Structure 1
Amino acid sequence: MIIVPEREIADLIGRKDAFDAVEKTFAAMASGAAYNFPVIREAIGHADALYGFKSGFDRSSLALGLKSGGYWPGNMDKGLTNHQSTVFLFDADTGQARAVVGGNLLTALRTAAASAVSIKHLARKDAKVLGMIGAGHQSAFQMRAAVEQRDFEKVIGWNLHPDMLVRLEETANELGLPYESLDLDRLGAEADVIISITSSFEPILKAAQVTPGTHIACMGTDTKGKQEVDTDLVGKARLFTDEVAQSATIGECQHAVAAGIVSEDNIIEIGAVINATHQGRTSDDDITLFDGTGVGLQDLAVASAAVELAVQKGVAVQVDF
């Protein structure tokens, strides 16, 4: 069995590796070659932690396995990241354990890759202004991945706690882009692409604040009850997602579906656009919304890529198991 420790991941896999793996995974899901198993996510009643499993199988790549992990809100006080994940891969031909891979950085990379895939396939080609809602740890990964998909000329941002906006400014400066903090009315009016990456349980962005032609990637809603945009905005947008069942039950579309504003039939897998079986954006005036709920197959894809690179570079730990 191969072990790829968390400490090795940063030197093994980059944004392009993650982007390619996630794009291929979404395409395989839409073609029926890959599927996710039901998600388990529970409060464990200890340390205020949420813990769960995401798993699946991709017949095209033979990626089989699961990601185990969750959220421990007290970890920052211990010098650890709050999100903790490990990916387990199995041999699809024998069922034997094939690899254990550190999943913390991989989770950040694959989440950013998913929104970047949506920008590539759904945002207007002339998009120039990137709007960021949320300034947590994941926001920097999101921004770095997004700017590789369009020729953005400016980044604008908003966060519930303004003192955290320095992360967005520093990341934009690192990328050589001017940055400005705005209120939500101006952000919605000026942004061509908006990435929302928060843990909100109340809608932040409203339909009245968004202009025609905007592409929105909602990347924070992955649990029942969470919500980043109002249901009116979901109702007026062309809807795309990683997996329809998750979008309708734990993703950004859950509230609009429950209210009868949209149905699951209104939500399209992004893989169908990648495979050119769905046209995606139909005009420059469409508001497109990608509901990135996060699927286990994304984790398996980037972990498999990390294992291959670790073996090639001689940093994989081999153990008898």
Structure 2
Amino acid sequence: MPADAQLLLLDRDFVEPALQGDQVLAAVREAFVLHSQRAGRVFPVVRETLHTRGVFGIKSGDVASQDLLGFKAAGFWPNNRAKGGEPHQATIALFDPYTGRPLCIMDGNAITTARTGAAGALGLQQLARPDSTRICVFGTGVQATVQLKYALSMLPRRCTVRYVSISGEPEPRFEMAFRDHCAISVAHDRNEAVADSDVVITATPGGGALFDAAAVQPGTHLTCVGTDTAGKRELPQGVLQRARIFVDDQEQARTIGECQWAPELPCTEIGGLLAGTAPFERSASDITVFDMTGLALQDLTVARLLYEHALAKGTGTQVAWPW
């Protein structure tokens, strides 16, 4: 066995600047298409609540034709906020499928943020009305920020944004990030904000229904990000029953996504739309929901991009890893 084998480490300072928006979009699109063609596999998800109030999960998979194998260990630790840290934590590892030897370990926080934002953007592009100009966002954290950033870049017209914060009060830092790109203000009545929106983005910890079902008007598109664990939800009862539902993975959505609350309803995987194998024509009155639970393949295609970039540039930290 080689005694001079190396393991590549890519930390946050490498990962964050290396994530280019167009490349991430392309990688996430590839992941969805691979999944729709079953050319990439998604292994069963681990998602467990800890005694520390944290939630720990593992998402893994492979793409045999690309010799791509790996996992992401990630979760949500709400107590991190009190320590000045980010509640979402993630680490990604890539492996040689022929030997099982680890090839690369990289910081997964920025990757998770970027790939989830890109996934929401692809769903928005496929499902929202092209004339959408009014957006309602629930949340003001990292994921709400990236979802709104991608949404504004995807929609062809200048938008008006209303957001719902935890406190119900304005969040100046959140507003400052978007003032040059849209008219943005805090929503004091969440039901009114939903009713007056073309696009609704929910990016919260998934602690319960965020608004009344009757607030959702015909023609609305909803991007649902926060429900990724059994027992979580953001949508109220009754919305899914009125909607055309799209998911990243049917089984996963019915287990840990919004679809867990109505698993009997039909849903379509977004990869089929992107691959052109699942035709979809939106009428002006359709309500569409993209129930996003996150695919391991999204993490792996983006991680592969960064791994290959680091190898080509000779960057990152190589450490001895004899086997």
Deviations 1:170-204 (A, max 9, x none): 2221x421112222232222211111101133211
Shift of 1:276: 1.1
Q: For residues 9 and 60 of structure 2, what CA distance do their matches in structure 1 show?
A: 19
- AA paired with 2:192? R
Q: Which of 104, 112, 115 is the equivalent residue of 2:109? A: 104
Deviations 1:51-73 (A, max 9, x none): 22110112344321100132222
Alignment partner of 1:288 is 2:288: yes
Which residue in the other structure is 1:198 paired with?
Answer: 204
Shift of 1:104: 0.9
Shift of 1:164: 5.9
1:231 alignment partner, SS class: coil
Q: For residues 57 and 216 of structure 2, what CA distance do their matches in structure 1 show?
A: 34
Contact in 2 for aligned 1:63/1:92 (Cα 8 Å): yes
Deviations 1:221-275 (A, max 9, x none): 0011111111311111000011111111110111122xxxx43xx1110000001
Which residue in the other structure is 2:313 paired with?
Answer: 313
Contact in 2 for aligned 1:49/1:70 (Cα 8 Å): yes
- AA paired with 2:210? I
Write out aligned runs for 1:237-248 (5 A): 237-248=243-254
1:163 alignment partner, SS class: coil
Normalised by the length of structure 1, the TM-score is 0.92
Deviates more, 1:9-18 or 1:271-280: 9-18
Deviates more, 1:233-242 or 1:149-158: 149-158
Among all aligned residue pairs of Structure 1 and Structure 2, give the percentage whose two residues are the same amino acid. 35
Write out aligned runs for 1:170-181 (5 A): 170-173=176-179, 175-181=180-186
Contact in 2 for aligned 1:42/1:51 (Cα 8 Å): yes
Which residue in the other structure is 2:76 paired with?
Answer: 71
Q: For residues 162 and 13 of structure 1, what CA distance do their matches in structure 2 show?
A: 32
Alignment partner of 1:234 is 2:245: no
Write out aligned runs for 1:1-321 (5 A): 1-45=7-51, 47-151=52-156, 152-163=158-169, 165-173=171-179, 175-182=180-187, 183-257=189-263, 262-263=264-265, 266-321=266-321
Q: Please report the RMSD computed on the Cα atoms of aligned residues, expressed in angstroms.
A: 1.8
Contact in 2 for aligned 1:155/1:172 (Cα 8 Å): no
- AA paired with 1:302? V
Deviations 1:12-40 (A, max 9, x none): 11222221111110111011111211111
Q: For residues 293 and 192 of structure 1, what CA distance do their matches in structure 2 show?
A: 22
Contact in 1 for aligned 2:169/2:186 (Cα 8 Å): no
Q: For residues 123 and 58 of structure 1, what CA distance do their matches in structure 2 show?
A: 30
166 and 253 in structure 1: CA distance in 2 versus 1, 3 angstrom threshold:
farther
Structure 1 stretches lacking a partner, 5+ long: none
Contact in 2 for aligned 1:52/1:70 (Cα 8 Å): yes
Q: For residues 139 and 313 of structure 1, what CA distance do their matches in structure 2 show?
A: 32
Q: For residues 86 and 148 of structure 1, what CA distance do their matches in structure 2 show?
A: 28
Q: For residues 43 and 285 of structure 1, what CA distance do their matches in structure 2 show?
A: 39
Shift of 1:162: 1.9
Deviations 1:145-176 (A, max 9, x none): 11111124221212342236334422221x42
Contact in 2 for aligned 1:307/1:316 (Cα 8 Å): no
Shift of 1:307: 1.3
Aligned length: 313
Shift of 1:135: 1.6
Q: For residues 240 and 156 of structure 1, what CA distance do their matches in structure 2 show?
A: 24
